C-alpha cells in the first residue's frame, strides 16, 4: 500500500541518525513537510540538508527534548515554516548499561528525561496544535524493552515501559479529536547505537561481534537477525495513514518473535 501524506506536517525527534532519520526520509518521500529535531546539530543539519536537496520539504531544528521551552519552540518553528503539526514522532533516545547498584544517578535522569519526559513534552505541545485541526498522529518509539526487561538496563527499560503508559493515556484523551497515539516496540535495530553496543559487548566478553548477536542479543528471538531501520520506519509510515485510523493505544511489536514465548 502506498501512503501519501501531502499537506501534512511532521515533527520527528532523534532525527539525526538511525530510525529517526529513516522515518524523516520516508515521511518526506510520502509528501509530508518534516522538521527533524535532534540535540546533535553536527549530524542533524547535514542529514536534513541531504534530504532537502533530494526534493524533500525538510528542515532541522536543534532541540533538547528535556527542556519545555525548547520543545515549545520546536512546535512554533514547525507552524511558522509549514503551517501546522499533524504528525509527532517521538524517537529521541540513548542507552547506558550498568547494574542498578552502580548506576550513576545523572545517567538515570538523562535517559528518562530524554525518552520519557521528552515524549511527554512533545506530545503535550503537539496535541495542542492537533486538537485545533481535529486530526493527528502521535507515534512513540518504545521498544521490546518496554514489554520485557533485561538486566543492567534499568533506566532504559523504565523509560520504555513508561512510554507505553503515556501512549495509552494519550490515545484515550485524544480520540475525540480524531487523533491516534501508538507505540512501536522494536527489537534490536541496525543503528549506530546498537552497532556500538555490539562492539562493546564483543570487547567485554572477548568474543566476536557475530557471537554477540548469536549468544546475547538474539538468543530469545525465533528469527535470528536484527531489524533494519526501514522496517520500523515503514510501520511508522503506515500508522500515519488514513488506513490506520482505527489503530490507537496500541503497542505494536516488531521483534522477530521475541515476545511469542
Active site amino acids: 156
**Does residue 135 contact residue 178 with C-beta atoms inside 8 Å?**
yes
Provide the 10 A C-beta neighbour count for residue 244. Answer: 17
Q: Which residue's entry shows cell 543539519?
A: 45
Give the three-state DSSP class for 218.
coil
Alpha-carbon span 72 to 46, nearest angstrom: 23
Give the three-state DSSP class for 115.
helix
Nearest to 108 by CA among 18, 116, 187, 197: 116
Cell triple for residue 173? 484523551
User: DSSP alpha helices (H): ranges in the chain?
Assistant: 18-29, 41-53, 68-82, 105-112, 118-133, 154-174, 192-205, 209-212, 229-240
| Adjacent-strand bridge partners of 179 | 136
- CA distances in angstroms from 165 to 20, 160, 197, listed in the order given: 21, 9, 27
Amino acid at each position: 500500500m502506498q501512503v501519501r501524506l501531502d499537506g501534512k506536517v511532521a515533527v520527528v525527534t532523534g532525527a539525526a541518525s538511525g530510525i529517526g532519520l529513516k522515518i524523516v526520509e520516508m515521511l518526506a518521500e510520502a509528501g509530508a513537510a518534516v522538521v527533524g529535531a535532534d540535540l546533535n546539530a553536527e549530524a542533524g543539519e547535514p542529514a536534513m540538508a541531504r534530504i532537502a536537496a533530494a526534493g524533500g520539504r525538510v528542515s532541522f531544528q536543534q532541540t533538547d527534548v528535556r527542556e519545555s521551552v525548547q520543545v515549545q519552540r520546536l512546535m512554533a518553528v514547525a507552524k511558522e515554516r509549514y503551517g501546522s503539526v499533524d504528525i509527532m514522532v517521538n524517537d529521541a533516545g540513548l542507552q547506558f548499561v550498568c547494574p542498578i547498584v552502580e548506576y550513576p544517578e545523572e545517567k538515570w535522569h538523562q535517559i528518562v528525561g530524554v525518552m520519557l519526559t521528552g515524549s511527554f513534552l512533545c506530545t503535550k505541545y503537539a496535541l495542542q496544535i492537533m486538537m485545533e485541526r481535529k486530526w493527528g498522529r502521535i507515534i512513540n518509539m518504545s521498544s521490546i524493552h518496554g514489554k520485557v526487561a533485561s538486566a543492567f538496563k534499568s533506566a532504559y527499560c523504565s523509560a520504555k515501559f513508561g512510554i507505553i503508559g503515556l501512549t495509552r493515556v494519550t490515545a484515550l484523551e485524544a480520540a475525540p479529536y480524531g487523533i491516534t497515539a501508538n507505540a512501536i516496540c522494536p527489537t534490536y535495530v541496525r543503528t549506530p547505537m546498537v552497532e556500538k553496543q555490539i562492539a562493546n559487548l564483543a570487547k567485554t566478553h572477548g568474543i566476536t561481534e557475530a557471537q554477540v548477536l548469536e549468544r546475547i542479543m538474539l538468543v530469545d528471538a525465533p528469527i535470528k537477525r536484527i531489524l533494519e531501520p526501514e522496517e520500523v520506519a515503514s510501520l511508522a509510515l503506515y500508522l500515519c495513514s488514513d488506513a490506520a485510523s482505527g489503530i490507537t493505544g496500541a503497542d505494536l511489536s516488531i521483534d522477530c518473535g521475541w515476545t511469542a514465548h
